[in-house]
Structure 1
Amino acid sequence: MQFGIFSIGDVTADPVTQGTRTEHERLKAMVATAVKAEEAGFDVFATGEHHNPPFVSSSPTTLLSHIAARTTRIILSTSTTLITTNDPVKIAEDYAVLQHLADGRLDLMMGRGNTGPVYPWFGKDIRQGIPLAVENYALLHQLWREDVVDWQGRFRTPLQGFTSTPRPLDGIPPFVWHGSVRSPEIAEQAAYYGDGFFANNLFGPKDHFQKLIGIYRARYAHYGHGTEEQAVVGVGGHVFLRPNSQDARREYRPYFDNSPVYGGGPSMEQYMAQTSLTVGSPQEVIDKTLTFRDHFGHYQRQLFNIDMAGLPLKTVLEQLDLLGEEVLPVLRKEMDSARPAHVPEAPTHASLLAQRTAGTEEPSK
């Protein structure tokens, strides 16, 4: 079971101090969070991709390359790579370079994002969001697996005898997750290729994500990649913790109430009852996270957001210490002891290389 941290890179005013970090400070804080996450025992650090204020996460490969140079063990990932508005050729090249520089400590999550205006900014039509996601990923998948590509589609110029460089490290493409909060078509896409499916269940009720994961698991088995239980699933979560729940809720409430995401809607308690948000003690975070397994089945990756809504870096680093010392050891023990032997771990570069060496790698679509 992999546990990780993801950041969306928002630049939000601190409602307690009324101060707002600069873009420079926010980027540096994301790097410090990733470095601390490795020290605290996390397996993954992921960043989103946004091209509009108030976000600074417009260039994930640049940010993750810098973090790769500052770390040695943690897997670097994206919590969204915009497969709709990025050129698949550039994705293939950029992430192959990053894969080499990080010595294989890389995977990525494809998504369509949540910002409608990004489509025309990059010359695309939002009404074609799903077809763009399907076609662009088909090309990316091919570029990483064939040395010479001839290709023609609807949304970009044809390719003739094209080779994407550099080739993936050891000839093994980065593992891909497909992230979705609403679209069964993306669950179908993940299942078709035998890729991972990530349900970013931050803002919706569990029943909605149960359906999406159920579709993915059934179609994964349909396409012959394994049983439904062997499908590769990841889920999100948002936590804020202190040694006791009263302090956690008192401290986090102004951040929740003034959040550009949460503020103005249901109360914090209502959100906690309906979504993955947990504000409380370490034991409450443990208990809530363990319910995800009951809702979604055995899964392979759990990512937490801990730095949204203007939280100061000092507080974020304290969260990582508490999670690493009091939450992760218990979750690892509980998740690993309950997982059946036939349910795999999340793929890594090392495990995929070992599969190929052993001759057990599944033929790609």
Structure 2
Amino acid sequence: MRFQVLDIVFNPPHPVTGEAIAPADRLNRVVETAVLAEQLGFDSFSVGERHAGEVLSSAPTVILGAIAARTSRILLSTGVTVLSLLDPIRVAEDFATIDQLSRGRLEVAIGKGNEVAQYPLLGLDITKQYEYLEENYELLRRLLSEEEVTWEGRHHFPVDGVTTLPRPFAGPFRIWHGSATSAFAVDLAAKWGDPIISANALQPRENYKVLIDRYREQYAAHGHDPAKAFVGSGSGGLFLADTTEQAIEQYRPFYEGAVARQDLRAHDPAAVGKVTSFRTIEEAVDRGPALVGSPERVVEKILDYHASFGHDLQSVSINHLLAPEHQDDVLRRFAEEVIPAVKAEVKTDLWSAADAGRAAGFTAA
């Protein structure tokens, strides 16, 4: 199995003290965590993108550029690039620039996003989010792989003989599709033979497994090699302690604080995937995807989910409200005590020498 650190760059105040982290400190912390993740042997570091709410990831390409300058080996990714909101021409230009700066260490994940307030903010119709996603993706694919592109769609203005610059470092970089609540994303990925990454953060595993199973069925139905149907999985947060009981008690205020912040948004109860299905930390640990516990318990949980998902990539996120040294300690313990145990049990061709589609600049074992 491969491992990724994801930071969506949430920045709400501390649930107990009410103190907020200065944006400069929070953003620089993202870069420092990426540097540490590379030192610890993680395969990938991913930055989210949102344009509303208590989040500082409205410019993920800028953050990834900073990370590219501080690292040399780790893959750079997104989680997710909200392609429904963006101009594919600018996306092609921005990410090819990062691909060049990192010398071919880029793979991105795209999706329609999980923040409904983004659409009216940017003057777009949320009822057409999947139409935007499909059209923008099909244009982006061509811009990355072709020159002198001529194209016409329903929502984007026509393009005539367009070549975006710079070109990608070594041909088109791999694009993953984020999957959380809808069959649309997995069907789009299967159509084009792309990998998916399941959010696996807020809902019961069965909800995500249905989409993963559908993806594999559709992938094969489109005539693609099933061996290349790579699947990633997110998690409901990572926190380690010597015992699971200690981890639950230490992480409780952070988890309960996150649930309370979700509740303040007053989402429609029928809107699936906007708030967690697990109201308490005990529920999240016992029945949900939260990787909270002793290293041994977290290994057990990842392997349990792998039995359901068969995933190749595990993505983890550290709560930014922990003290920086505590964040580093959790990440270090995960790298030293969890990753080797999981890798001993789960093998994958993803990003190996057998994976012809991997980023050209990736140099991990």
TM-score (norm 2): 0.90
Identical aligned pairs, as a percentage?
35
Q: In 2, Cα distance between the equivalents of 1:27 and 1:354?
A: 25
Q: In 2, Cα distance between the equivalents of 1:20 and 1:116?
A: 24
SS in 1 for 2:103: coil
SS in 1 for 2:31: helix
Q: In 1, Cα distance between the equivalents of 2:155 and 2:75?
A: 32
Alpha carbons of structure 1 residues 240 and 354: separation in structure 2 relative to 1, 3 Å: closer
Residue 352 of structure 1 corresponds to 357
Alpha carbons of structure 1 residues 55 and 156: separation in structure 2 relative to 1, 3 Å: same
Residue 246 of structure 2 corresponds to 247
The 5-angstrom pairing of residues 267-282 of structure 1 reads 267-282=280-295
Contact (CA 8 Å) 2:180, 2:199: kept in 1 or not?
Answer: yes
Alpha carbons of structure 1 residues 174 and 151: separation in structure 2 relative to 1, 3 Å: same
RMSD (Å), alpha carbons: 2.1
Residue 268 of structure 2 corresponds to none
Alpha carbons of structure 1 residues 353 and 203: separation in structure 2 relative to 1, 3 Å: closer
Q: In 2, Cα distance between the equivalents of 1:20 and 1:353?
A: 39
The 5-angstrom pairing of residues 131-210 of structure 1 reads 131-170=131-170, 172-210=171-209
1:312 pairs with 320, 323, 332, which one?
323
Residue 39 of structure 1 corresponds to 39
Q: In 2, Cα distance between the equivalents of 1:115 and 1:45?
A: 22
Higher deviation after alignment, 311-320 or 54-63: 311-320
Residue 363 of structure 1 corresponds to none
SS in 1 for 2:357: helix
| CA-to-aligned-CA distance 1:7-49 (integer Å, 9 cap, x gap) | 1101122234442101111101111111111111111110110
Contact (CA 8 Å) 1:204, 1:274: kept in 2 or not?
Answer: no
Contact (CA 8 Å) 2:107, 2:359: kept in 1 or not?
Answer: no
The 5-angstrom pairing of residues 54-93 of structure 1 reads 54-93=54-93
| CA-to-aligned-CA distance 1:218-246 (integer Å, 9 cap, x gap) | 1111111112x541111111221112222
Alpha carbons of structure 1 residues 25 and 53: separation in structure 2 relative to 1, 3 Å: farther
Paired residues, number: 345
Contact (CA 8 Å) 1:99, 1:106: kept in 2 or not?
Answer: yes
Is 1:124 the counterpart of 2:124 in the alignment? yes
Residue 326 of structure 1 corresponds to 337
Alpha carbons of structure 1 residues 264 and 215: separation in structure 2 relative to 1, 3 Å: closer
Q: Which amino acid aligns with 2:218?
A: R
In the TM superposition, residue 61 of structure 1 has moved relative to its aligned partner by 0.9
Q: In 1, Cα distance between the equivalents of 2:9 and 2:133?
A: 23
Is 1:303 the counterpart of 2:302 in the alignment? no
2:229 pairs with 225, 228, 231, which one?
231
Q: In 2, Cα distance between the equivalents of 1:286 and 1:312?
A: 24
2:303 pairs with 280, 290, 306, which one?
290
SS in 2 for 1:150: strand
Alpha carbons of structure 1 residues 169 and 354: separation in structure 2 relative to 1, 3 Å: closer
Residue 105 of structure 1 corresponds to 105
In the TM superposition, residue 133 of structure 1 has moved relative to its aligned partner by 0.7
Q: In 2, Cα distance between the equivalents of 1:348 and 1:313?
A: 35
Q: In 2, Cα distance between the equivalents of 1:40 and 1:296?
A: 26
Q: In 2, Cα distance between the equivalents of 1:280 and 1:267?
A: 15
Alpha carbons of structure 1 residues 17 and 121: separation in structure 2 relative to 1, 3 Å: closer
SS in 2 for 1:234: strand
In the TM superposition, residue 274 of structure 1 has moved relative to its aligned partner by 2.8
In the alignment, structure 2 segments of 5+ residues that lack a partner are 263-274, 361-365
Q: Which amino acid aligns with 1:301?
A: L
Alpha carbons of structure 1 residues 50 and 166: separation in structure 2 relative to 1, 3 Å: same
Residue 269 of structure 2 corresponds to none
SS in 2 for 1:352: coil
Q: Which amino acid aligns with 1:330?
A: A
Q: Which amino acid aligns with 1:234?
A: G
In the alignment, structure 1 segments of 5+ residues that lack a partner are 356-365
SS in 2 for 1:105: coil
Residue 213 of structure 1 corresponds to 212
Alpha carbons of structure 1 residues 193 and 167: separation in structure 2 relative to 1, 3 Å: same
Q: Which amino acid aligns with 2:32?
A: A
In the TM superposition, residue 107 of structure 1 has moved relative to its aligned partner by 0.6
In the TM superposition, residue 349 of structure 1 has moved relative to its aligned partner by 12
